[in-house]
């Protein structure tokens, strides 16, 4: 191999190794949910994403609406609320109501959300909780009372 190709190889090898490690990471323990919470089959995914400061991953979580926030009216309109996960962590839900119907949730309601997680120090944001009009990414939704708002 020529020198230029060799130098690129040594850059790509650690980057690929790191990507594989992040992709295959499985936490060794999961925090026990408080007794009053309910099960979530994907809570570990969001916990691992938060711990590793990952973004752009599809998650599906169940939690209780802790607080409704005013709609975000900058750019696309988004319904916003804080969801408390069984682990105790909170995450902001940003649901695009220009592309999907508003989910009629209230504080205390149990909901399941599928969307794309973005890390931030406050616990993160789940957005893309609706269909993708261009069909380039998996569709998300908010499930409430056996109805999906997508």
**Each residue's pLDDT tens digit, 96-148:** 999 999 999 999 999 999 999 999 999 999 999 999 999 888 889 999 999 99
pLDDT at position 137? 81
pTM of the model: 0.71
* 41: confidence class by pLDDT, cuts 50, 70, 90: very low
Rounded-to-integer distance, Cα 6 and Cα 32, Å = 48
3-state helix, strand, coil in the chain (%, to 5): 20, 35, 45
Place of tokens 């090898």: 13
* CATH number belonging to the domain at 40-149, selected among 2.40.10.220, 2.40.50.200, 3.10.20.600, 3.90.930.60: 2.40.50.200
pLDDT for res 1: 54
* Bridge partners for 119 per DSSP: none
| Domains in the chain: boundaries | 40-149
What pLDDT digit, counting tens, does each position of 47-103 carry? 889 999 999 999 999 999 999 999 999 999 999 999 999 999 999 999 999 999 999
Are 130 and 100 spatial neighbours (Cβ–Cβ below 8 Å)? yes
In angstroms, rounded to a whole number, what is the distance separating the alpha carbons of residues 65 and 70? 14
Higher pLDDT residue, 140 or 6?
140
* CB environment 52-68: b (16+ within 10 A), e (fewer): eebeebbbbbbbbbeee
Torsional class of 103: left (φ above 0), alpha (ψ -120 to 50), beta (otherwise): beta
């Amino acid at each position: 191999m020529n020198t230029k190709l060799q130098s690129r190889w040594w850059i790509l090898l650690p980057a690929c190794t790191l990507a594989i490690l992040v992709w295959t990471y499985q936490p060794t323990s999961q925090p026990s949910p408080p007794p009053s919470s309910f099960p979530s089959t994907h809570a570990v995914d969001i916990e691992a994403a938060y711990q590793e400061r990952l973004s752009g991953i599809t998650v599906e979580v169940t939690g209780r609406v802790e607080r409704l926030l005013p709609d975000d009216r900058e750019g696309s309109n988004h319904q916003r609320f804080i969801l408390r996960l069984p682990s105790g962590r909170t995450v902001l839900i940003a649901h695009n109501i220009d592309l999907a119907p508003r989910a009629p949730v209230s504080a205390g309601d149990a909901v399941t959300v599928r969307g794309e997680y973005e890390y931030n120090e406050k616990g993160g944001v789940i957005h893309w909780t609706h269909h993708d009009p261009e069909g380039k990414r998996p569709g998300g939704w908010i499930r409430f009372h056996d109805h999906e708002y997508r």
